[in-house]
Structure 1
Amino acid sequence: MKKLILSICILIIVNCSTYAQNIRFIRSGIITYQKTVNMYAIIQRGITKENETFFKPAFEAYKQQHPQFKELKSTLTFRNNKTLFTPIGNVTSIMSFFNDPQISMQNNVSYTDLDTKQFISKKKVFDDIYLLNDRVQNIKWKFTDEVRDIAGYPCRRANGIILDSVYMVAFYTDKIPVSGGPESFHGLPGMILQLALPHENVSWIATKIEDVNIQPDSILPPKDGTIINYKGLIDKLKSITKDDAKSESTNLKALLL
């Protein structure tokens, strides 16, 4: 019996060692993400006692014609500590009584240099194109013990706060030792493969991970647009929406994420 137990222990140790040797740490590749937006929840938040008489019937009509979830795809190309986030395909607004909120869109092409903390993002703000050039935003992270598998990679959960009040849940893998993620999200000891903004009803998840050698000239900042920093972008948006405080807050939050 002792010999049998010893043999089983040795077998487990050998298998674990073999598995560990087969794990490849990726420092260059392409990740495909799917962004999911709960349109029903977002529209519902905008219905108040003051407008429900008119908006509720419009919302019911919207639900008859449109799905609850809007899905968008993007890629994150990375090499060492540089990343380039790019939407896939043309994103068009859904024709309906309700305009697509800024948070439900995916127009940004974003470049991040994690070594220098430089962030450059090409953003569409209403009818204007801006080239946001500033440092990466500060995100306060708190680690948890929760784990899950995403796209074949073991991931650990971390909870974060950005823009002082926006709560997020992220799952990252240290098997891709790049402190990046979709859009402007970053700052964990590994790549973010899943991220949710529960109160904004938006999430991203990696659906495909390609371990490929990316050439340095494939990861370059976007071009064209009026150069602006975060402060300038905030001031610009406030000037456009100065008569609608609620719209200002909602759009500002979406454009800064």
Structure 2
Amino acid sequence: MIKTVLLLTFLNFVLIETHAQYAFFPNSGTITYERRFHVQNYLKRNYLNKADLETWDKMFVDEVVKNGPVELGTKHSLKFYDGETLFEIIKEDYPSNYRSALNYLPVFNDSKTYKNQKTNMFSRLIHFGGDEILLKDTIPNVKWKYTDEYRNIAGYDCRRANGLIQDSIYVVAFFTNQIAMPIGPELIQGLPGTILGLSVPSWNINMFATQVELNNQPVSSQLTKGKKVQPKSKVEIKELLRVSVYDWMDEKAFQKQWSKFLF
């Protein structure tokens, strides 16, 4: 009897080891996300209650509240390959009332972000005031705290982690170790698995994966099409914006605008 139990235990151990040895952990593919921005809640929280809101701003906000959508829905893709990722919007024909509402989105809607895990560097192309800005710097750290909450997203079992970015912005992420790359949308990453769900409560933004396609397609680091844009660091771009673009803003308002560049 003892020999039988030992034999079964040994065989079970061998099967587990064999399964682990041949388990498939993909390192390349494309993840499609749907991002929802509850524009009405965001405007009511950040604009309508401001006593010092200027007349022109109030007119624009009132127009979006009256005729704009309740929320904005956009689709995005995250391509990943051997430690490199490219995150960008999937261009679609959005309703006309989206245009004004997009101006209040607390992140850049049409930016492209390339990240390289091996070098810990990122490049982000931003369309800003009719020009293109290429930001290149080290990938920001996120302070994570794990929880015991779980959710299935796009067919993958995910665990929740709460994070803090830029020392002040609270985020909620759901990551899966079934895709063992420590990656995620935008500049959010650093968990032992891929982030398939992301929420920024203070910005009324939720982003969840709707599809995961595994493939073997390399990721390109070229963010511009034939046009040469000189990359600048966070320090250089922040100083440029502070002096020449947002010089009329107080420090609190400027930091709010600057957070768009680092999300």
SS at match of 1:226: coil
Residue 68 (structure 1) aligns with: 70
Letter in 2 for 1:227: P
Q: CA RMSD in A?
A: 2.9
Give the fraction of aligned pairs with identical amino acids, expressed as a percent.
30
The question of whether the paired residues in 2 share the 8 Å contact of 1:122 and 1:225 is answered with no
Q: Distance in 2 between matches of 1:238 and 1:150?
A: 40
Q: Does 1:168 align with 2:171?
A: yes
Query: 5+ unaligned residues in a row in structure 2: which ranges?
Result: 1-11
Letter in 2 for 1:222: L
Distance 1:113 1:63, change over 3 A: same
Q: For 1:160-239, list aligned pairs within 5 A.
A: 160-214=163-217, 216=218, 218-223=219-224, 224-239=228-243
Deviation readout 1:166-201 (Å, 9 max, x if unpaired): 110000000001111111111010000011111111
Q: For 1:96-111, list aligned pairs within 5 A.
A: 96=100, 100-111=103-114
Residue 243 (structure 1) aligns with: 248
Aligned-residue offset at 1:101: 2.4
Distance 1:53 1:76, change over 3 A: closer
Distance 1:137 1:91, change over 3 A: farther
Aligned-residue offset at 1:61: 4.4
Query: 5+ unaligned residues in a row in structure 1: which ranges?
Result: 1-12
Q: Does 1:146 align with 2:152?
A: no
Deviation readout 1:111-134 (Å, 9 max, x if unpaired): 111111011111123232111111
Aligned-residue offset at 1:60: 5.2
Aligned-residue offset at 1:49: 2.3
Residue 80 (structure 1) aligns with: 82
Q: Does 1:255 align with 2:261?
A: yes
Distance 1:237 1:55, change over 3 A: closer
SS at match of 1:199: helix
Q: Distance in 2 between matches of 1:249 and 1:41?
A: 21
SS at match of 2:223: coil
The question of whether the paired residues in 1 share the 8 Å contact of 2:69 and 2:98 is answered with no
Letter in 1 for 2:51: K
Q: Distance in 2 between matches of 1:233 and 1:227?
A: 9
Letter in 2 for 1:220: S
Q: Distance in 1 between matches of 2:24 and 2:195?
A: 17
The question of whether the paired residues in 2 share the 8 Å contact of 1:168 and 1:197 is answered with yes
Residue 29 (structure 1) aligns with: 29
TM-score w.r.t. the length of structure 2 is 0.80
SS at match of 1:250: helix
The question of whether the paired residues in 2 share the 8 Å contact of 1:84 and 1:221 is answered with no
Which of 127, 147, 157 is residue 124 of structure 1 equivalent to? 127
Residue 8 (structure 1) aligns with: none
Residue 3 (structure 1) aligns with: none
Aligned-residue offset at 1:203: 2.0
Letter in 1 for 2:84: K
Deviation readout 1:211-232 (Å, 9 max, x if unpaired): 1122x3x432423423111111
Q: Distance in 2 between matches of 1:229 and 1:26?
A: 32
SS at match of 2:137: strand
